[in-house]
Amino acid sequence: MNTFSETAWLCLAVPAALGGIVLYKLKKSPGQVGRKVVCLAGLWAGAYLLSLSLFWGWVLFPLSCFLMCAYLSGHEFLPVDQKAVLITGGDSGFGHALSKYLDELGFTVFVGVLNEKGPGAEELRRTCSKRVSVLQMDITNPQQIKDAHSKVVEKVQNRGLWAVVNNAGIIGLPADGELIPMTNYKQCMAVNFFGAVEVTKAFLPLLRKSKGRLVNISSMAGGVPMEKLAAYSSSKAALTMFSAVMRQELSKWGVKVSVIQPGGFKTSIAGTSEMWNKLEQDILDNLTPEVLEDYGQDYILEQRDYLKFISRCTNTDMSPVLLDIQHAVSAKSPFAFYSPGPMAYPMLCFVSFSPTGIFDYFSKKLYHFRGSMPKALTKQA
């Protein structure tokens, strides 16, 4: 039986100590569990290889230590000091929860809402501190963006604006891409992409002055093709690429850009039954007789059941998303991409590196909605 040399034991002790540091920091940043586990596994693998081959051990072990130290440095948080953050889409969902969360941490929060007299806005006024300001801000309305900008500038004055979180978004009614009306495609782009771009352009001078943060809330669906989400996914893919380009361009100004690509979380983005009824009617009103005959009205009206299917796969705990956004806003070295949610990161990697045929096969197994077939295909069967 072989015994470890003193050098091998020493190199096992060091990653063990670093592993303890990781586990300690894990309590403070649980949103980054997966990456920490990978780093820790890499350290142990390096130490194990050292016991087998001194040469490769000395090559891999310092590299593992360097990567771990570089990674841990990204978890140093800057002091809050009442830094000012603008969040869009604060009526409900991520934006609403994030506004409360950052307020609890001591940030000055400007919350843009679609309806400043709605229940979401009223709840924020009632439950949050005086550091939270609720602003009427439909991001498809340029004048409301300008008005919000003026109010932010007036309030922050010399303190400046530290971060903008572009969160506002819509999903519409999921349906086959051929069935989705052009008005819905345009609306998704108007809110999910063009609105975020316009807000970014309006507030970038303030971010450049503070050398702050731009955080865009995209979606796993912006990188992973999913049936029924052609309009939504296309708009989120555009936002993801916009974020990547802005990250490169704004680096010379000291502004750091991050994109959040959450997996399935339960929010109110899907809308209400009244909205679904309207979208269904829009679909029926805009189809040609030929397309309506091929798909059949029963198939079209069944599309809303996809929302129930999605709902069963979603997570009600938003804390992974909130923690990742906090990291993007507050960390000394934020990441360019975050993918909170149990399946988000694996699926984004899978679609990037696997052959298309293999991805499509497994994607249908995981996310395929088992509804009825279009009328024309039913006849053929």
Helix (H, G, I), strand (E, B) or coil at 1: coil
Angle between helices 33-52 and 6-26 (to 10 degrees): 180
Please state the separation of Cα 162 from the chain's center in Å.
19
Residue 220 phi/psi, 5-degree rounding, is -55, -35
Burial code of 298-318, b = ≥16 C-beta within 10 A, e = fewer? ebbeebbebeeebeeeebeeb
- Neighbour tally for 274: CB within 10 Å: 8
- Neighbour tally for 32: CB within 10 Å: 24
**Which residues are within 8 A (CB) of 64 and not within 5 positions of it... i.e. 6 or more apart?**
15, 42, 43, 45, 46, 47
Nearest alpha carbon to residue 329 among 129, 108, 125: 108
Q: Which two tokens stand for residue 17?
A: 């100590």
- Neighbour tally for 364: CB within 10 Å: 11
Please state the separation of Cα 123 from the chain's center in Å.
24
Which entry of 101, 232, 295, 299 is annotated as an active-site residue? 232
Q: What's the angle, vertex CA 337, arms to CA 333 and CA 340, rounded to 5?
A: 110
Burial of 73 by CB count in 10 Å (0-12 exposed, 13-18 middle, 19+ buried)? exposed
R_g of the chain, CA atoms, integer Å: 24
Rounded CA gap, 169 and 218, in Å?
9
Give, in order, the Cα–Cα distances in Å from 174 to each of 70, 92, 281. 42, 20, 13
Rounded CA gap, 284 and 86, in Å?
39
Contact 235, 223 (CB under 8 A): no
Our answer to whether residue 367 is catalytic in this structure is no
Rounded CA gap, 296 and 373, in Å?
9
Rounded CA gap, 111 and 124, in Å?
9
Active-site positions read: 232
